Structure 1
Amino acid sequence: MTICISFISQKGGVGKSTLARGLAREANNQELTVKVADLDTQQGTIVNWHRRRLDLNYKPIGSVESFKTAEQALQNISHYDLLIIDGPARASKATLDIARQSDIVIQPTGASMDDLEPAILLFHELFKAGIPKSKLFFALSRIGTDSELDACKTYLIQTGYGVLAGCLFEKPSYRQAQNLGLSITETSYQSLNKKADELIQSIVDAIKSE
């Protein structure tokens, strides 16, 4: 049975595509068959990134395609272990459709209240529309310090939604790696790879619990 994981966001630039790429790479390394559906048809972030990856002769992360809707992405997926949906850059009417089709919904958020408050409101909207809280997880991204991480987790845990272990720290090396078609666990620095892997592994653990 194919498990569907979606990455959504209320606003752009919080790490949605970054985490989707990281999960795809790690799942592929664990010998899962992976399909990535890029629903951001205007930017095509993951499609373009995977093209760079292949052009530079790095290992593919699975099948990467662009789709307009979640329904299109869900067609012909029975031979995949994992479908990863990278949602549109900002929340829209399609976000609820994506959430309904997903086993797990992950929303990255930064540490500022400008990021946290809209992210919480989006999950509230999905919950009111019938999406169980058990499917909804926050992933902390673009974090500056350990103390900032702790403060954000304490704040988000009070909402009743899941908060993934670890975080993605704000580091230029992550951007540089992705510019070369690599993922956040493939930087030149093992310490950064390890920190990113903690967050990705917490997503894998959530998948295994399904």
Structure 2
Amino acid sequence: MTISIAFASGKGGVTKSTLARAVAVSYAKSNWKVLAGDLDIGQGTFVNWNRRRMSAEIEPVFDVLSLGTVTQLKKHLDSEQYDLAIADCAAFASKSTIEIANLCDLTVIPTSFSLDDLESTVNTANSLVRSGVPAQKLAIAFSGVSENESDYEAARGYLAKTPYTVIDGFIPRKPALSKAQDGGRSIIECPYAAPRQRAEHVIQGIINRIEELTSEE
């Protein structure tokens, strides 16, 4: 069986690809056979990052493909060629995200602490649920945020009123994490311990959640 995780959002620039890369690297480090499908063919963010990674000869390596349709993703899932498939969705602008969320075991929606982003994130999650995606298959993660514990607690309080799983911790907006990705590394491969450990905590939370869901099946 191929485990599958999608990363989706209601708008662009919310660190979807950042989280997707880190999860893919984490599993690849554990010798899982990983496929990362970049479904935003207009931007190709994941594919371009992988080119930088390959150019720098960074390990572990894993397959990164540009997938133009959900059918292509489903074909790879059905083949069971991979242990894990990551779907890096385009911004929530078409029915494809709904189809992918229904197809995958878990869909992660990143958000910041701002009310604008929180409202957009909850609206996105609600839209997926209205389209048939079970609420338990959705998780919200804080990423690309300021290091402010009171803002973090306030944002958690806001999301506590929803039925959605909230991944513990947050990934700060740090130049060191951005530079790591510029060089083809993921945020869990950042050379600086403090931001890397923040990132590792959130990524482990996503891994824990997908293990909970798939162990129930």
User: Displacement of 1:192 after TM fit?
Assistant: 1.3
TM-score by length of 1: 0.96
The answer to whether the 8 Å contact 2:15/2:143 transfers is yes
**Partner deviation per Cα, 1:49-81 (whole Å, 9 max, x = no partner):** 001001011114411000112220221341211
Residue matched to 2:119: 117
Q: Which runs of 4+ in 1 moved over 4 A?
A: none
Post-superposition offset of 1:90: 3.7
Unpaired segments ≥5 residues, structure 1? none
Aligned to 1:179: 182
Tell me the residue number matched to 2:67: 67
Q: What's the % identity of the aligned pairs?
A: 40
Structure 1's 91 and 164: CA in aligned 2 closer, same or farther, altered over 3 A? farther
Corresponding residue for residue 155 of structure 1: 158
Query: More displaced, 141-150 or 96-105?
Result: 141-150
Where does residue 10 of structure 2 map in the other structure?
10
- Once the two structures are superposed, residues 148-199 of structure 1 have per-residue CA deviations (whole angstroms, 9 ceiling, x without a partner) of 1111111112111110111111111111110000000111211111110000
Tell me what 1:44 maps to.
44
Distance 1:51 1:102, change over 3 A: same
Find the counterpart in structure 1 of residue 105 from structure 2: 103
Please give the root-mean-square deviation of Cα atoms over the aligned residues, in Å: 1.1
Bigger share in helix: 2
Other-structure match for 1:164: 167
Residues of 1 paired with 2:119 and 2:94: CA distance? Answer: 17
Q: Deviations 1:68-104 (Å, cap 9, x if unpaired)?
A: 1222022134121100000003442211111111110
1:197 aligns with 2:184: no
2:29, 2:153 → 1: CA distance?
Answer: 30
- Does residue 135 of the first structure (1) align with residue 137 of the second (2)? yes
Counterparts of 1:149 and 1:92 in 2: how far apart (Å)? 30
Q: Distance in 2 between matches of 1:61 and 1:86?
A: 17
- Looking at structure 2, the residues matched to 4 and 14 of structure 1 have their Cα atoms a distance apart, in angstroms, of 20
Counterpart-to-counterpart distance in 1, 2:202 and 2:127: 25
Q: Secondary structure at the match of 2:168?
A: coil
CA distance in 2, matches of 1:63, 1:6: 16
